[in-house]
Amino acid sequence: MVKLRIAKHDLPHIFIGLLTFVIFLVCFELIISLLLSNQHERKRSATIDKVATVRAKIEGEFNSMLFLSAGLMAHVSTHPDIDENEFNQIAREIIIAGRNIRNIGLARDNVITHIYPLSGNEAALGLNYEKSAKQWPAVKRAIDSKGTIVAGPIDLVQGGNAFIVRTPIFTRTNVAENLGPNKSTYWGLASIVIETEGFFRSANFDEIQQKTMFAVRGKGGLGKHGDIIVGNIELFSQDAIFSSIRLPNGTWQIAAMPLDGWKSNDVLILLLHSFGILTACLFGYLVTKLSLSKQLNQDLAFYDHLTNLPNRRLLDDRMLQVMSYSKRYNSAFGVFCLDLDDFKIVNDSLGHKVGDGLLIEAARRMLASVRATDTVARTGGDEFLILVNDIHHEADMQTIRQHLDANLMGLASIDGNRLQISASIGSAVYPDDADSIDAILNWADKRMYAAKRAKKVP
């Protein structure tokens, strides 16, 4: 009977322990699920960043080509009878300034008449685009659009594989005489041949593909409707990250995913589950001690642990009370939003200990600047809010602002460091500025940031 009484006496504690174990285990399983989901999202985020990097580099390479070749196009449009020496000089400078350019050519009336360098590219001279079944569609599209078209990669008649950036050139009449609207006449085509392998190497494809699968499609700038350019076409049918690469008058589509896919580490999952069970047992044992500290934790939930100021949660509650009082008795209240100037610089250069000391000192000075009935709260890292209730005169806000300027601003000795404390301050008053809490806070916040921007203006 004694054993039975002891068992009955222990049942509530055992039940609480078991309940805590079950609840915590369920919570931990949810946490594991969130962690795995977060790991998946981190993988996706990292892959998105890599895609963005590759996209930016590819777009940058093409934009660079267009910028470098603009001078050649302009020269030919005004000097349609450009000779070989003129062309060679301009093309040489473009190739020196650019990257992965194999050659540059001019095709007057769609027949290649100039090419630089000539060595190794002799086979391309005299090529008539209109008679080339592979190249004429892209050339025709460039002419019709009167804009630059990126073709390829294609196999060149002189050997090798490359992209061809083609831009139609038009000569203009009536420019000097100003006799009416300018008329343009199609002269021919300028082509920049870019080595495919070197181009993608410049976009860091080799380095990134060590951990990530990449594929690009969209030959002829046709985006997802174009043929594969590089990589495995099957990647586009998987759960990959997709993005569009903007080209002159067209797009490519890029797809990417990690080499090991999106799956998580099975060993890690097993370890997490084991850790969850052990931790749930521990928390079941400690539940009694945790319950004793419940009230303390509730108190801490309403105050900032560093400055001992009310936190945002308690501030919101007090603002609701002040708003209700002001509406009932037709009175006013005000708020000050404060953001410490250059706090991040202090925190980063002198360390968190000094940064924390600066926050504590700033909080102390703010408390010394307001009335006992007002509330000073810490709402963020280096952001504070002062709630001034029951304002009778406009001078009340001005007086507090003067106290803030006098007490808050100035030198302080923090852990042996002499620091200048200053803050950007914005204020708003109910009901003069707005008639809701959100609007009042918004006005004060805007004015605070306006004050901060004003300090940055030289």
Give the pLDDT means over successive 10-residue stretches in the chain (458 positions): 41 67 77 77 86 87 81 86 90 86 90 89 86 84 85 77 87 56 79 86 76 86 87 88 88 88 70 74 67 56 89 93 93 95 92 93 94 93 93 86 92 91 94 93 95 81
Domain presence at residue 122: yes
Domain presence at residue 8: no
Domain presence at residue 268: yes
Same-domain pairing of 270 and 357: no
Domain presence at residue 226: no
Last residue of a domain, one of 271, 287, 303: 287
Same-domain pairing of 44 and 174: yes
Structural domains in the chain (count): 2
**Per-residue model confidence (pLDDT) at position 341:** 93
Q: Which two tokens stand for residue 176?
A: 């000097």
Q: What is the pTM of this model?
A: 0.49
Last residue of a domain, one of 253, 287, 321: 287
CA gap 284, 13 in Å, rounded: 10
Same-domain pairing of 282 and 316: no
Same-domain pairing of 280 and 388: no
Domain presence at residue 210: no
Q: Which of 28, 19, 76 is nearest to 285 (CA)?
A: 19
**Per-residue model confidence (pLDDT) at position 6:** 40
Structural domain that includes position 69: 14-152+164-191+263-287
Same-domain pairing of 135 and 184: yes
CA gap 185, 157 in Å, rounded: 29
CA gap 394, 443 in Å, rounded: 17
Same-domain pairing of 32 and 171: yes
Domain presence at residue 203: no
Same-domain pairing of 269 and 397: no
What CATH number does residue 67 fall under?
3.30.450
Rg, the chain, Cα only: 35
**Per-residue model confidence (pLDDT) at position 450:** 94
Q: Which two tokens stand for residue 282?
A: 């521990």
Same-domain pairing of 279 and 370: no
What CATH number does residue 388 fall under?
3.30.70.270
**Per-residue model confidence (pLDDT) at position 9:** 46
CA gap 66, 72 in Å, rounded: 10
CA gap 450, 291 in Å, rounded: 47
**Per-residue model confidence (pLDDT) at position 1:** 34
**Per-residue model confidence (pLDDT) at position 179:** 44
CA gap 217, 257 in Å, rounded: 15
My answer on whether omega of the bond before 12 falls inside 30° of 0, hence cis, is: no
Dihedral sign computed on CA atoms, order 160, 126, 100, 254: negative
Rounded (5°) CA angle 97-61-82: 50
Same-domain pairing of 35 and 171: yes
Domain presence at residue 427: yes
Same-domain pairing of 29 and 173: yes
Q: Which two tokens stand for residue 298?
A: 């509730």
Question: Which distant-in-sequence residues (6+ apart) come within 8 Å of 338 by Cβ?
Answer: 366, 383, 384, 385, 386, 404, 408, 423, 424, 425, 448
* pLDDT tens-place string over residues 393-429: 878 899 999 999 999 999 989 988 999 999 999 999 9
Buried b (16+ CB within 10 A) or exposed e, 114-144: bbbeeeebeebeebebeeeeebeebbebbbe
Same-domain pairing of 139 and 185: yes
CA gap 44, 381 in Å, rounded: 29
Dihedral sign computed on CA atoms, order 380, 384, 387, 391: negative
Same-domain pairing of 270 and 358: no
Domain presence at residue 345: yes
**Per-residue model confidence (pLDDT) at position 289:** 57
